[in-house]
Structure 1
Amino acid sequence: MTSEQPPAERETIAVSEADIDEAIEACDGDLRATIKALLVGQQYLEIALEMSRQEASWGYVRGRPSRRLRALEG
């Protein structure tokens, strides 16, 4: 059993018309380019989230700071 909330209980993310217009404008009005950019960004965030989950798991299991943090401190 996971600790995720059911979709109805999750906080709604507000995206305004201005946000949508800004994304389209950033891609010079090209809707396909806008969608592609958003999908690439989503994939990047999913990869970063998975890396964070793996790093957190390693640290919690071992009960000590991550390898990356120790390398930065040293």
Structure 2
Amino acid sequence: MTSRPNEAAIDEIVASCDGDIRGALRALLLVNEQLEAELQQLHAVVAYGGLAGSGSNVLH
């Protein structure tokens, strides 16, 4: 089931790409790649115990 906020977000993304659906998909894929890279970095930090006792809050 698709919620209304998702529909509005889709409309905004497509509009920001001047109605170009392929452009909107390309932009979303690029953002997804960035998020996946950040997630891999976080996994690596946690796997090596980098967050334990460091006092930093990587996830805000």
Identity %: 32
When the two structures are superposed, what TM-score results if normalisation uses the length of structure 2? 0.71
The aligned length equals 53
Could you say which structure has the greater relative contact order, defined with CA pairs below 8 angstroms and 6 or more residues apart? 2
Do residues 57 (structure 1) and 51 (structure 2) align?
Answer: no
Match of 1:32 among 22, 31, 34: 22
Cα RMSD over matched residues? Answer: 2.4
Query: 4+ runs of 1 displaced by more than 2 Å?
Result: 12-16
Structure 2: give runs of 5+ residues left out of the alignment.
none
Per-residue CA deviation, residues 13-39 of structure 1 (Å, 9 max, x unaligned), is: 855211110010111111111000000
Give TM-score, length-normalised by structure 1. Answer: 0.59
Q: Which has the larger radius of gyration?
A: 1
**1:45 matched to 2:39:** no
Q: Distance in 2 between matches of 1:13 and 1:52?
A: 30
Distance 1:16 1:33 in 2: 18
